Homo-oligomer: A and B are copies of this chain.
Amino acid sequence: MSAVAAVRQESRPAQGARKAPDEFAALDRLGAVVTLKRDETLFREGDAAQYYFKVVQGAVRSCKLLRDGRRHVGDFYLPGDFIGLDAEQDYIFTAEAIADATVVRYSRRSVEALAAQEPKIGRRLLSLACHSLNAAQQQMLLLSRKTAEERIASFLMGIAEKKGGMQVTLPMTRTDIGDHLGLTMETVSRALAHLKHEGVIELKSSHDVRIRDREALADLAEAY
């Protein structure tokens, strides 16, 4: 078993469309393992996009900065998720580890060569891109029209759905969540406190949420 396959073994891919399909098994031979400490950078916005990545362990965030420092977190990547599939020439966002993380790195050139031989790979890449596009459209609706509480509800529902449970672990800080949802960390904190007060969620610790009333949370999230 190759080193990469061994690492894969440890990973627990998320369910649904983001799951690593069998077609990608051939890719493992191409992959190199990368480990990151908390807050370490995987790549920077503007770097030449030479690689695709897949998260094996830990968590990664993508972010973009405005000149004056305002930050936006595009997405959070958990074990099983691919990073960089949207890259054209250069990466258009920076990727950093939220917590200590293990990531597999694939050369885009090799993947493209493989895709040329095996059409399934190409189709799967397209399917993953479409799925990201759908997620992005949901997120734009959220950022455009939802209230703070609805944003938090949508966010929690999204993670719970991906993990498939009522128990949700948030490896990121309140600031990260805020920058992802277009809010400040204070507003995130208050919205969570309010949901807790209403009995919709339970905060076992600031990073461990249990959904007590799924109905109510889904109702707030609207889009679900």
Which among B85, B127, B139, B223 is the interface contact of A140 at CB below 8 angstroms? Answer: B139
Say yes or no: B67 contacts A137, CB within 8 Å. no
Asked if A66 meets B136 with Cβ closer than 8 Å, knowing A130-B129, A144-B179, the reply is no
- Bound CA–CA A93/B136 (angstroms): 12
Chain A residues touching B, range:
35 or more
Which label, helix, strand, loop or mixed, suits the secondary structure of the A interface? helix
Within 8 A of B (CB), among A13-72: 17, 64, 66-67, 70-72
Residues in chain A within 8 A of chain B (CB atoms): 17, 64, 66-67, 70-72, 74, 85-88, 92-93, 116, 119, 122-123, 125-127, 129-134, 136-141, 143-146, 179-182, 222-223
Ordered by A's residue number, 8 sampled pairs between the chains whose C-beta atoms are within 8 Å are A66-B145, A66-B146, A72-B141, A88-B130, A122-B123, A126-B129, A132-B133, A140-B140
